[in-house]
Structure 1
Amino acid sequence: MARLSFRQVEAFRAVMIAGTTTGAAEILCISQPAVSRLLSDFEESVKVTLFERHKKRLLPTPEAMILFEEVEKSFVGIEKLARTAEELRDFHRGTLRIVCMPALAQDFMPQVVHDFMADHKGVAVTLQVRSSQQVADWISTQHFDIGISAIKVSDPAIEVQSLASSQLLCALPPNHRLASKAVIIPQDLEGEMFVSLGTEQSVRYKVDEVFEQAGVKRQLLFDTQVSHVACAYVLAGSGVSLVDPATAINYSKRGLVVKPFKPKIEFNYNIIYPATRSKSLLAIDFSELLCKRLKALSQESNGLFVYGEG
């Protein structure tokens, strides 16, 4: 079997395209004698006459044409590989799988994903919505690249980074008796119809503990596992609630009255990754955009979203 070098094959291909060693030298950015030497070595290696010399031109033999077809197949594959690498480097190729807790999924995350995809043409994105615990489960099993969760998990299969540390806000219906009050405290909500987040939400127990310590009784007749349903229910005039700031601010644009609540009940936005594999460039780029947008949301919230990095 002939022992060929890539440089010899490259010189043969350049001569086939240019028709002369001088033209091939220009393509390869080397000297004409270097091309002639590589071509001679190539012919010696394959032990087949590849060209007939006619004045200054090289006329390929039928054997050369057959060999050129095979060479082109290889170079097409190499060029495709190079293009793919360039697309990956420039974020125009690849997939990003995101699983997000409901608190950010209704309005905020779709807008961030839309803007990300607009800047990364050709990238395919999956966005699934699950509870914070399910987010952690899917990340630990490497089904997704990025997870957005409200809980900090202790799992060696998961890497946790804090996106933002804020606090719950009080959601009131339009024209509520407390609408003009600057800050809501537990005693203000004595006897109110209270929309609770479901028992599968860890923040539910923090909220209940605050009211129990204050000795405040609420009407607990309705609960839901997602904060945007709680906001929609309150906006319809049916009670009050404590919800995460991103959801509350989104609904304030629709008429929901949103107020700070004391004592502070912390609510964290965390980004989590599979710990047993490295993060893709797309995942890193998306995470940076996500942090940037949360900071912008905080700056535009008139002090409602008190953003702090954990």
Structure 2
Amino acid sequence: MAKLSFRQVEAFRAVMVTGTTTAAAEMLFISQPAVSRLLNDFESSVDMPLFKREKKRLLPTPEALLLFEEIERSFVGIERLSRIAEELKAFHRGTLRIASMPALAQDFLPKVSHEFMSKNDGISMTVQVRSSHQVADWIATQHFDVGLSAISVSDPAIKVELLAKSRLVCILPPGHPLAEKTTIHPEDLADEMFVSLGTEQSIRYKVDDVFENAGINRRMFFDTQVSHVACSYVLNGSGVSLVDPVTALNFISEGLVVKPFAPAIPFNYNLIHPASRPVSRLALDFCDLLKTRLNELAVNSEGLFEIY
């Protein structure tokens, strides 16, 4: 048997699907004589007649029908692969797995995720909220595609990209005497009831160092691992605190007073990815949207959230 070509098989299938060489030519975007030539070559290659020719009509033989069944199975598989590839290219298919620290997960990340999914119909998204250390562990073990973390991890399994470098802000309850001050300093908070971030947060130790270096005592009223819980306590009159700016901005509409704090205590928002595999187009586009919306948040924050 002579060697078959894909073009011959394609022409045979087109004739079987459409019923005529003219319609097959239109389907394949080639001329009718070209289809006829490919069909004749195909019959020569398989060394058997596949059609009875009656008055310009092609009637498939039983052998042609059996051959078509086998070919169709292969073409269905190819078309399915092609369709999946197009869907992936257009983001109509795929899953994006995100692990985020709480600071971005309360309000900011849900809004960005909703916008991204609205623009990319057909994708699915998984979001888990954990501490920055847990996020890093999940990224290192490739359980998630994108991580949002406050810590810069030195781990060969993780690729770190600085998303935004900012500073902690001071939060006060509505009507607090310090609400009129432009900037809050450690001495302003002497003997204030203080809502502190828990010891699992590395930023806790930076905050403690600032007050210790200034010789300022605080009344350590309450601690929490989650910054938005600190905001809720302060909002209800239970002390003051220092938290990251993105979390604090969520509570301004509820009456929380947010002020710059000096000396500056850096707080970073980092993007992390598994280092051992390329970042998908889906993840890259999501991260681009994340950066855009974070920059817009900074611009509209009236100086409370500054990206350095």
CA shift, 1:59, in A, is 1.2
Q: Which residue is equivalent to 1:37?
A: 37
Match of 2:228 in 1: 228
Cα distance in structure 1, aligned partners of 2:63 and 2:21: 19
Q: Point out the more displaced range, 7-16 or 38-47.
A: 38-47
Cα distance, 1:199 vs. partner?
A: 0.7
- Measure, in 2, the Cα distance between the counterparts of 1:120 and 1:13: 35
| 1:47 matched residue in structure 2 | 47
Question: Aligned partners of 2:92, 2:236: CA distance in 1, in Å?
Answer: 44
Q: Secondary structure at the match of 2:75?
A: helix
Tell me the secondary structure at the aligned position of residue 195 of structure 1. Answer: strand
Listed one character per residue, the Cα deviations across residues 85-119 of structure 1 (whole Å, up to 9, x for unaligned) are 11111111101000000111111111111111111
Measured in 1, the distance between the counterparts of 2:268 and 2:12 equals: 62
Q: Specify the code of the residue in structure 2 equivalent to 1:106.
A: Q
CA distance in 2, matches of 1:103, 1:23: 61
CA deviations 1:222-280 (Å, max 9, x no partner) are 10001000000101100000000000000111111100001111100000000000000
State the aligned residue count.
308
Q: Provide the secondary structure at the position in 1 that maps to 2:126.
A: strand
Q: 5 Å matches for 1:8-87?
A: 8-87=8-87
Distance in 1 between the 2:294 and 2:187 partners? Answer: 31
Q: Distance in 1 between the 2:120 and 2:283 partners? A: 12
1:188 alignment counterpart:
188
Aligned partners of 1:31, 1:22: CA distance in 2, in Å? 8
Q: Distance in 2 between matches of 1:87 and 1:168?
A: 42
The equivalences for 1:178-257 within 5 A come to 178-257=178-257
Residue 286 of structure 1: aligned partner: 286
Q: Deviations over 1:195-232 (max 9, x none)?
A: 11011111111101110111110001310001000000
DSSP 3-state at the match of 1:151: coil
TM-superposed deviation, 1:300 = 1.2
Q: TM-score, with normalisation over the residues of structure 2? A: 0.97
Asked if 1:147 is matched to 2:157, the reply is no
| 2:90 alignment counterpart | 90
Unaligned runs of 5+ in 1: none
Tell me the alpha carbon deviations over residues 271-290 of structure 1, each in whole angstroms, 9 at most, x when there is no partner.
Answer: 00000000000000000000
| Match runs of 1:122-141 below 5 Å | 122-141=122-141
- Whether contact under 8 Å (2:221, 2:239) holds in the other structure is no
Cα separation, 1, equivalents of 2:19 and 2:108: 59
Query: Aligned partner of 1:271: which letter?
Result: L
**C-alpha separation between the residues in 2 aligned to 1:19 and 1:234?**
77
Runs of 4+ displaced beyond 3 Å: none
Aligned residue for 1:221, secondary structure, equals: strand
- The corresponding residue for 1:259 is 259
CA RMSD of aligned residues (A): 1.2
**Counterparts of 2:41 and 2:153 in 1: how far apart (Å)?**
63
Matched residue SS, 1:30 = coil
Q: Percent identity?
A: 69
Q: Measure, in 2, the Cα distance between the counterparts of 1:23 and 1:235.
A: 73
1:96-115 equivalences under 5 Å are: 96-115=96-115
Distance in 2, matches of 1:18 and 1:128, equals 51
Query: Secondary structure of 2:178's partner?
Result: coil
1:48-86 CA distances to partner (integer Å, 9 max, x unpaired)?
321001121211112212222222222222111111111
Using the TM superposition, name which of 62-71 and 267-276 deviates more. 62-71
What is the SS of the residue equivalent to 1:166?
strand
Q: Is the 8 A contact 2:2 2:44 kept in 1?
A: no
Structure 1 match to 2:274: 274
The 1-side partners of 2:80 and 2:17 are apart by 19
Q: CA deviation at 1:46?
A: 2.0
Structure 2: 5+ residue runs without aligned partners? Answer: none
> Could you state the TM-score of these two structures normalised by the residue count of structure 1?
0.97
CA distance in 1, matches of 2:202, 2:162: 17
1:2 Cα deviation after fit: 6.9
Measure the CA separation in 1 of the matches of 2:118 and 2:29: 38
Query: Are the equivalent residues in 1 in contact too, given 2:197–2:204 (CA < 8 A)?
Result: yes
Give the deviation of 1:19 after TM superposition: 2.1
